[in-house]
Amino acid sequence: MNNDTYIVNTKENTWSNKIIDSIKGVADVGLDWDVQKTPMVALLEGKYPLPIESHVSVNRSDSSQSIGVVGAGYEPIQNSRIWEAMHNSLEGTQHEVVGGGYTHNGGRVFIQTKVTAEDFTVNGDVFDNYITFYSSHDGSSAFELFDTSVRMICQNTFRLAKQNGGKVFKLRVRHTRNAEVRFENVMQHLEVMFENRRRQYGKLNDLAQVGMEYNDMIAWATSFYTKTNKLATIASNKAHETRRLSRVGAGNNGETAYDLFNGVTDLLTHGDRHSKRDRAAVWRSSELGAAATQKADALEQLTTYRGHHIARGLELIRNGETSLVA
């Protein structure tokens, strides 16, 4: 991982900078520092300081490193308060912190906890499910909750739950009279998340019963990765790599729509084997960025729009071959 990303986990995986037996506080996940607001100045003609009143720099207390620029009215919530708020908000539930860390040099932070609700299996595969509390000190996002599933045999991940309309779960922050910070709507979100888990795992079990031929897998994946009406080489390469992973990936047989879904999550979780992208960038996209959204979308596209994508993919491939011949 690059130095701008730091990840700690209690289970062995390919991403973490550090594996520890248990996580008891912010120090265990590299968040034992505060956020400080620092005034900024502009240098006129390179030498005359002019105070900038509208914005401030956000700096880490341990290194003085700037991790973002925000409006002057911004009031940071310290990592220790985020930790306290998470536990206060989950009071009464059986939960265990299993991961945490930061990206963008600390500009964005996360804490991952396992909230025991019920266990899920698909086609004999065991899944672990985690709730991720995610926020930023650089003003890039509000407090959010993610429901993340991990297929244990291969460590592929995918995000299970979004609200109606595709919106993420945002947390309302309340400052109490005794200076505590609480997330007000966690329990409501968890109720929706857990119900959504049951529906999504039901869909996965259904996909495990749907056989798919080689050509249909290639066609579906071609359409899924192609956002325009013209087949591009990169989309074609992703489609063929996804089909390969659906056959040779851990626990896969290359025979069902569930295998194909696992091919998608494998590619988007671990990255293309031919790619030279930094592992930190792959992880950020997989868990918090565009790839996370794409993995969540794959289940819906395989369940509801499978036939549409196969037909569209075949047409894209035919037109692409025609263009090559012409």
Instruction: Tell me how crowded residue 96 is: count the other CB atoms within 10 A of its CB.
Output: 12
| Paired sense of beta strands 108-115 and 125-136, if any | antiparallel
Secondary structure of residue 122 in the 3-state scheme: strand
Per the CB < 8 A criterion, the answer to whether 158 and 296 are in contact is yes
Distance, CA of 323 to CA of 319 (rounded, Å): 6
Distance, CA of 130 to CA of 14 (rounded, Å): 17
Distance, CA of 278 to CA of 2 (rounded, Å): 8
Per the CB < 8 A criterion, the answer to whether 129 and 149 are in contact is yes
Alpha carbon of residue 78 to chain centroid: 22
pLDDT at 146: 82
Paired tokens of 121: 């299996």
The 10 Å CB-count burial string (b at 16+, else e) for 84-95 is ebbeebbeeeeb
pLDDT at 158: 77
**Backbone conformation region of residue 168, classed left if phi is above 0, alpha if psi is from -120 to 50, else beta:** beta
Residue by residue, pLDDT tens for the chain (326 residues) are 567 899 999 988 777 899 999 999 999 999 999 999 999 999 998 888 999 999 999 999 999 999 999 999 888 889 998 999 888 888 888 889 999 999 999 999 999 998 876 677 888 888 888 888 888 999 888 788 888 888 776 778 877 655 444 456 777 776 544 546 677 778 888 888 888 888 888 999 999 999 999 999 999 999 999 999 999 999 999 999 999 999 999 999 999 999 999 999 999 998 877 777 777 788 888 887 888 889 889 999 999 999 999 999 999 999 886 544 43
pLDDT at 187: 81
Instruction: Tell me how crowded residue 262 is: count the other CB atoms within 10 A of its CB.
Output: 32
Distance, CA of 89 to CA of 190 (rounded, Å): 11
Vertex 264, ends 260 and 265: CA angle to 5°? 115
pLDDT at 222: 96
Contacts (Cβ under 8 Å, ≥6 apart) of 162: 168, 169, 296
The 10 Å CB-count burial string (b at 16+, else e) for 209-242 is eeebeeebbbbbbbbbbbeeeebeeebbebbebb
Instruction: Tell me how crowded residue 105 is: count the other CB atoms within 10 A of its CB.
Output: 19
* pTM score of the predicted model: 0.82
